[in-house]
Amino acid sequence: MSQGGEGASAKDVSAVANAVTAPDAPQTDVKTAVANKDKAAQLQELYMRMQGFKMPSAPENKDHKFWSTQPVPQLSSEASGKIDEEVVIGPLDDTKTVDQVRQEPYGLPASYEWCVIDVKNEVELKEAYTLLTENYVEDDDNMFRFDYSPEFLRWALCSPGYFKEWHVGVRQSNNKKLRAMITGIPVTSNAMGKSLKMAEINFLCIHKKLRSKRLAPVLIKEVTRRVNLKDQWQAVYTAGVLLPRPVGVARYWHRSLNPKKLISVGFSRIQERMTMARTIKLYSVPSEPKIQGIREMVKSDAKQVQALLAEYLKQHKVFIEFDVEEVEHWFTPRKDVIYSYVVEKDGKVTDFCSFYNLPSTVIGHPQYNHLKAAYCFYNVANTVPLKDLMNDALIFANREKFDVFNALDIMQNATFLKELKFGIGDGNLHYYFYNFQMPTIKPNEIGIVLL
């Protein structure tokens, strides 16, 4: 992620891949993607987009003019016969210094100005929440919307060591209303044994009425500039579309917890030769966890949980290096945000599981207005089978009234998905590094979950 000149910027922050590959297009409008499909297909496709499954609007072999100018591995390297064994692991761009970074913010259209969004300020947090709620993701019939809660946003953006100036906003000059935003947080990733300070970029959102102004590239360039000013030059991100060039590819799986509701809102359907009663019975879970000594995590568990995570994650070729303070932040339970559980035996924490809450709003349904989705986060099974640990996670999620439990097939997750009645989703989730190349890896070699 270098900012040495006008031509080198923004590549790292393409968590919103559609905005980068087609800056003129509405970044979060899914009308094209879901046109002429029935309601169930629309919601399933919207749901994939909300998890990072942004559906490509053109064939994936199209030219990537933007990406061809950036320090990322190119798809053409595969076509020309270059194989993973030939990849030189490390940065692609020449080393830069902060002195070489542009000092002034990028220009905005007339009547708009940059701002910093203070998410610890209730008024500004509500502004960000409202912008996202009304403009981030919706389907063509305006029936389903992604719904980040203010509490989730504060959790996602106020990680230890975060930089306030990486929470970038655009206001309308005459009335100071927030019209666009993009955010970043610092993370430490490990790729092929190399520890790297990186930026994780999220929440690129532009008001519907401003999408003709081509603000997305400017937002991306500006947050890149601010990241570079902190002497950070690389990033990790995910996208549903194929860009130059993924380090790995994963797939989401979905486990129904409330099949009657999911069928009613159109998320899923009753299978052939099945009745509603049989479907409900099929996806029922016990009322009590099975593992002896499993309990909700508390803050004082953080040191032991950090040790468990560090030992487990280093088995993967890419992973996040969490310190104790970060474990406290990301995993200490917060109501309606993050749920974490540990197995304790004789005062020692031996196993750990976690999931977070990322719901969507159902608009105009006569009975339901909310779809509560749990997302598998990080899990470590040392003394119990992972399947048993995740079965208890499903029980806890069901207790908390979640409707569906989602998991990627990364880490060791593939070992429990089918047995615990998860169904495979459509589309792929691609993992990318900016300004860092390495061989392509398998899903079970990926140890990173991005919100």
Catalytic site residues?
Answer: 451
Cα–Cα distance for residue pair 222/341, rounded to 1 Å? 39
372 and 357 Cβ atoms separated by less than 8 Å: yes
Q: What does the DSSP assignment read for 428-447?
A: -EEEEEES-B-----GGGEE
DSSP reduced 3-state for 410: coil
Cα–Cα distance for residue pair 206/202, rounded to 1 Å? 13
Cα–Cα distance for residue pair 329/324, rounded to 1 Å? 9
181 and 170 Cβ atoms separated by less than 8 Å: yes
DSSP reduced 3-state for 113: strand
Instruction: Say if strands 404-408 and 373-376 run parallel, antiparallel, or are unpaired.
Output: parallel
Cα–Cα distance for residue pair 95/425, rounded to 1 Å? 40
Sole residue written with tokens 């002896």: 292
Hey, what's the torsion of the CAs at 188, 192, 194, 200, to 10 degrees?
Answer: -20
Cα–Cα distance for residue pair 385/242, rounded to 1 Å? 35
Cα–Cα distance for residue pair 87/424, rounded to 1 Å? 32
DSSP reduced 3-state for 213: helix
**The pair of three-digit structure tokens given for residue 420, joined into one six-digit string:** 């615990």
Strand partners, 168: 116, 182
336 and 149 Cβ atoms separated by less than 8 Å: yes
318 and 191 Cβ atoms separated by less than 8 Å: yes
Q: C-alpha distances in angstroms, 69 versus 63, 65, 404, 448?
A: 12, 7, 41, 27
Contacts by 122-127 with C-beta closer than 8 Å and gap 24+? 124/178, 125/150, 125/153, 125/154, 126/150, 127/177, 127/178
Could you tell me which of 129, 194, 239, 272 has the C-alpha nearest to residue 437? 194
Cα–Cα distance for residue pair 42/342, rounded to 1 Å? 37
Could you tell me which of 406, 389, 12 has the C-alpha nearest to residue 198? 12
